Amino acid sequence: MVAMKRYLDDLVASDLQRKMVLLTGPRQVGKTTLCRHLMERFPPAQYLNWDVAADRSILQRQSWGVRTKLLAMDEIHKMPDWKNWLKGVVDGRSPDQALLVTGSARMETWRQSGDSLAGRYLPFRLHPISVREWCEEQGGTPSDALARLMERGGFPEPCLAEKAEDAERWRRQYFTDLIREDVVEFSRLHEITTMRLFVELLRERVGSPLSLASIARDLAVAPNTLKRYLDILQALYIVFAVQPWHRNIARAILQTPKIYFSDTGLVRGDEGVRFENAVATMLLKHAHFRQDAQGKDVGLHYIRTKDGAEVDFALSEDNRLTHLIECKLSDSSTHRALARFANDFPEAEAVQIVCNLRQEECRAPVHILDAANWLGNLAA
């Protein structure tokens, strides 16, 4: 399998010449491969991983090569007091040395009192492959790309694998390793069985408003325990929450989120559920790219009223709705709630994206559009 150039390669290479770059994302999403590509552009370069004992000794002694043009450090958030340590490295480096820090957990998870790295770095979040990225790097049509991503998920190894069986074998091992290795670092060993059951239940509830209270009753644990588990799963980029839209952010957080998986291949459900999850991952990638690369205040939400009317997704910018998005596998009849919300929010573009669509159509105020083509025009 040939390593694929990723959508952030050139952006990160450019930013490394100005500041330290913090690159986070799920395990095996391609951070190390991106690292290797960048090292070829900044010779001589050095890659040090905190999880490797020999590398850890070099990091602790700060004895890396003095001529190193790019120093790439992986998983150093596991080091005690890593932020102050890193601050010292940033402030003491030579002017022509670039620093890249990567990790498979959200860096804010490890935030200590006081943000000692303020102003010293530029953050990027690396996401799975999307329709746009597949078409730009691998060629082919958007519809072929979407079919591939729904079948395999967007993580590079299963997505690029020649055989479907290889993708399935990768996913089985990936899921086992996530629970056994990554989650253990955050939670107590005796909780792993409950955590695994919780993840299995989440795999069957993708796209539905999440009631932790009802799952807590099923698992015979306290809702606060499940809240902590969910925080861990989000911190490790295994799942992400989409909050309901509300202009008052505090009120939105108090309402029920919908949960999606970073890896669509982990979703248990019919083709419609996998399609919705794939769309969610690409919309989040779009929002994070607009935030990280363009400095825009873009958010991903869904809309639901007390009477049960719901639209799958909404995009906002500067606390104003810009897009209302309803996902349909094949039904092209106008979604009633989408038409209603399109009238309520006339400033937002209302689109119903359909996976298997014969003809695109404008039924004001709703646009019925081919899903693959629309997704291929997102920012990343």
Question: Mean pLDDT for each 10-residue chunk of the chain (380 residues)?
Answer: 85 96 95 95 96 96 95 92 91 93 76 64 96 96 96 95 93 85 70 89 95 93 93 92 82 79 95 97 98 97 90 97 97 92 95 96 96 98
DSSP state of 1: -
Q: Which two tokens stand for residue 257?
A: 């989120």
Look at residue 374 in the predicted model and tell me its pLDDT: 98
Q: What is the pLDDT of residue 104?
A: 86
CA atoms within 13 A on the CB side of 288: 18
Second CATH level (architecture) for the domain 9-125: 3-Layer(aba) Sandwich (3.40)
Domain layout of the chain by residue ranges: 9-125, 131-375
pLDDT at 106: 73
Tokens of 363: 């039924």
Whole-angstrom distance between the N-terminal and C-terminal Cα of the chain? 23
Which residue, among 350, 345, 344, 347, has the nearest Cα to 312 in the 3D structure?
350
* Phi, psi (deg, nearest 5) at residue 77: -65, -10
pTM of the complete model: 0.95
Beta carbons within 8 Å of 316's beta carbon, 6+ residues apart: 245, 298, 299, 301, 322
Residue that has been written with the tokens 């019925």 in this structure: 368
Predicted pLDDT of residue 253: 58
State residue 112's pLDDT score. 45
pLDDT at 249: 59
pLDDT of residue 15: 97
- The set of residues, in sequence order, having a beta carbon less than 8 Å from that of 280 and lying 6+ positions away, is 207, 240, 242, 260, 300, 313
